[in-house]
Amino acid sequence: MTTATLALRDVVKRFQGVVALDGVSLEVAEGEIVGLIGPNGSGKTTLLNIASGVNRPTEGRLVVGGVDATGRRPNQVAKLGVGRTFQQIRLFDDMTVHDNVLVGAVARGEDRDHVAPLLARLNLAAVADRVAVTLSYGDQRRVEIARALAGSPRFLLLDEPAAGMNESESDALLATIQAIREEQGCAVLIVDHDLRLMMRLCDRIHVLAEGRTICEGTPDKVRADPLVIEAYLGSAGAPAEPEPAGGQAS
Amino acid sequence: MMVFAAAGQEAVQQAINALALGSTYALLALGLAMVFSVLGLVNFAHGELVAVSGYAMYLLHDAGLPFAVQVPAAIATGAIAALVMQRVVFRPLRGASFITLLISSFALSVLVQNGLRAIISPRQQGVPLPDFFNESVHLGPYVIGWLEIVTLASCVIALIVLTLFLRRSTQGLGMLAAAEDFQATRLMGISPNRVIAAAFAISGALAGLAAIFLVARRGTVDPGMGFMPLLSAFIAVVIGGLGSLSGAVVGGFVLAAIEVTLDATLPGSVQPFREAFALGIVVVILYFRPEGLLTRVSEAK
């Protein structure tokens, strides 16, 4: 259990003097689903960028499966078993759904046969031959997840996978992510603003505000934390859902 | 009746000329687009790949080697020269700004041209090709030069092979994906160095192939011979949409069609201004399709 984690240790990230992350530590173990929430600009995407090698931490370390990956390039971090999706969908627009996922598979030396079951698992079999850009927003999000999974990652980073999805789509996404965890045993680190989804999906939730961890723990603990309520749930501009009630109902 | 027949015949022959010229432009434009799509670099030294491939043919011819040797040598020289350019000049500049890369490629272009001047000769050198290329074939009422036929056939075969490679092979799919979103493929574990090297090698091989037909048409090589083809290829890429591979091919054929049509229809007195008319039409195309013919109008995301 000790090596099968993706860990960020005391990570600091400054962009030309602006502090995006200020000493954040976070660990995701295999088979675990960890949520990352926080107001806009709290450093969530920066954290995923560091975990996938897009950005290099100013201070602190990235350790993937026991290997120090600090400062490694994105393709090298991917080879250690980190797959991700993007907040702004980044599919290969002119390629078919099937080929998008196939690129994800071959990039990591997986077989072509790997693709069809994944398309079926993510409910994309019917649109496999469509050109990616013609798909609906929700379908495109699922293609991104399939593409990331095609490389058989040990750690899957999802950046706002439910953005733009309606309630039933996000419920289906929840079931899919849980099934992926069961079947592939991979760890999931997920960023999303859909708190209804996050509270039900995640084993643990990590709350960031202004680049610092303000709370970490089970959804119940996070929901009850006064700092979280003040910084996030209770602040102006927070999601208008009846948050705790919605969460308890599930 | 006779006039109509003659006009029809003329049109068919012009169309074949346009296709042959267009396919040469397409090869060059595709190479430019390929490197641009993975590196964000408009390689103005691309024309010099044509030149060095042409000189390889010249040197081999001088050494008494037959055309059958010169052809693969030209293609290989283009590919190797492109790989050397990328390793020596562009790789150390990875991550540099667009302008830095652009200026560097201009510098490289000047360097290679002057290298050819200093080492070989500033003057034109003759590269006689097999007589075969000067002959024509009579198909019904049409007289078609073998050069045009071979050019068109070779370029079309090259484009088909390349398309099959890109669409069917796993390596090719990675390239195609990288051409669409380089950063995303890196995040999936594809090595950028490999993709970039492959893009240069392919662009160089295509330039080498184009060089064979350009040399065949001119019968000579000279140090600056790559510049005009490069300019045409660049215009083709812009017409098709910068960064779009299929756009580059379409752009090449569109540009050739414009040039050949003007060639055939403009009265003799304005022929010297042919280029100005051609570029004028390009400006009109870009006025209506500023992002190129094959680039999707970016949707609001």
Residues 6 or more apart whose CB falls under 8 angstroms from that of B85 comprise B43, B45, B49, B108, B200
What pLDDT sits at residue A248? 39
Which tens digits make up the pLDDT trace of A126-172? 999 999 999 988 889 999 999 999 999 999 999 999 988 888 888 99
| A89 backbone dihedrals φ, ψ, rounded to 5° | -55, 130
Is B106 part of any domain?
Answer: yes
Residues 6 or more apart whose CB falls under 8 angstroms from that of B102 comprise B41, B42, B44
* Pairwise CA distance, residues B23 & B18, whole Å: 8
User: CB–CB of B242/B294 below 8 Å?
Assistant: no
Is B16 part of any domain?
Answer: yes
CATH number, domain at B273?
1.10.3470
Ramachandran class of B41: left when φ > 0, alpha when ψ lies in -120 to 50, beta otherwise: beta
* Pairwise CA distance, residues A143 & B140, whole Å: 54
**H or E element that contains A67:** strand A67-68
Indicate the SS3 state at residue A21: strand
Is B299 part of any domain?
Answer: no
Token duo for residue A48? 């995923």
Is B239 part of any domain?
Answer: yes
* Pairwise CA distance, residues A146 & A123, whole Å: 10
**Does residue A238 carry a pLDDT above 60?**
no
Nearest to A155 by CA among A64, A86, A44: A64
Which tens digits make up the pLDDT trace of A196-211? 899 999 999 999 988 9
Instruction: Give the architecture (CATH level 2) of A1-81+153-167+185-250.
Output: 3-Layer(aba) Sandwich (3.40)
| Beta-carbon separation of B173 and A88 below 8 A | no
**H or E element that contains B274:** helix B274-288
Chain A segment 115-134 residues within 8 A of B by beta carbon are 133
Rg (C-alpha) for chain A, rounded Å, is 18
**H or E element that contains B229:** helix B227-240
Rg (C-alpha) for chain B, rounded Å, is 20
Residues of B in contact with A79 (CB under 8 A): 189
ipTM over 0.85: no
A78 and chain B in contact, CB less than 8 A: yes
The dihedral over CA atoms of B125, B145, B20, B128, expressed in degrees to the nearest 10, equals -10
A183 band by pLDDT with thresholds 50, 70 and 90: confident
Preferred mutation among B176, B187, B193, B294 to probe A, highest tally of A CBs within 10 A: B187
| Beta-carbon separation of A151 and B189 below 8 A | yes
Burial of A75 by CB count in 10 Å (0-12 exposed, 13-18 middle, 19+ buried)? buried
What pLDDT sits at residue B225? 95
Chain A segment 142-161 residues within 8 A of B by beta carbon are 147-148, 151
- Residue numbers of the domain that contains B9: 2-288
Is B293 part of any domain?
Answer: no
Q: How many CB atoms lie within 10 A of CB A87?
A: 15
| B40 backbone dihedrals φ, ψ, rounded to 5° | 70, 25
* Pairwise CA distance, residues B113 & B225, whole Å: 9
Task: Please report the sign of the dihedral spanned by the C-alpha atoms of residue A147, residue A151, residue A152, residue A155.
Answer: negative
pLDDT in tens, chain B (301 residues): 445 555 667 777 788 888 888 999 999 999 999 999 888 889 999 999 999 999 999 999 999 999 999 999 999 999 999 999 999 999 999 888 889 999 999 999 999 999 999 999 989 999 988 888 888 888 777 788 888 889 999 988 998 999 899 888 888 888 889 888 888 999 998 888 889 999 999 999 999 999 999 999 889 999 999 999 999 999 999 999 887 888 999 999 999 999 888 888 888 888 888 888 888 988 898 888 888 887 754 433 2
Is B140 part of any domain?
Answer: yes
**Residue type for position A20:** A
β-bridge partners, A18:
A15
* Pairwise CA distance, residues B39 & B95, whole Å: 9
* Pairwise CA distance, residues B263 & B165, whole Å: 36
How far is CA B142 from each of CA B9, B10, B11, B132, rounded to the nearest angstrom?
Answer: 6, 9, 10, 18
**H or E element that contains B3:** helix B2-39
Q: How many CA atoms lie within 13 A of B62 on its CB side?
A: 11
User: CB–CB of B49/B207 below 8 Å?
Assistant: yes
**H or E element that contains A117:** helix A115-121
Is B205 part of any domain?
Answer: yes
| Overall number of domains in chain B | 1
Task: Please report the sign of the dihedral spanned by the C-alpha atoms of residue B145, residue B278, residue B244, residue B90.
Answer: positive
Residues of A in contact with B185 (CB under 8 A): 103, 107
Comparing CB atoms, the residue among A92, A99, A107 nearest residue B181 is A92
What pLDDT sits at residue B298? 44
Residues of A in contact with B191 (CB under 8 A): 75
β-bridge partners, A32:
none
Give CATH 3.40.50.300 domain extents, chain A. Answer: 1-81+153-167+185-250
Indicate the SS3 state at residue B138: strand
| Beta-carbon separation of A103 and B191 below 8 A | no
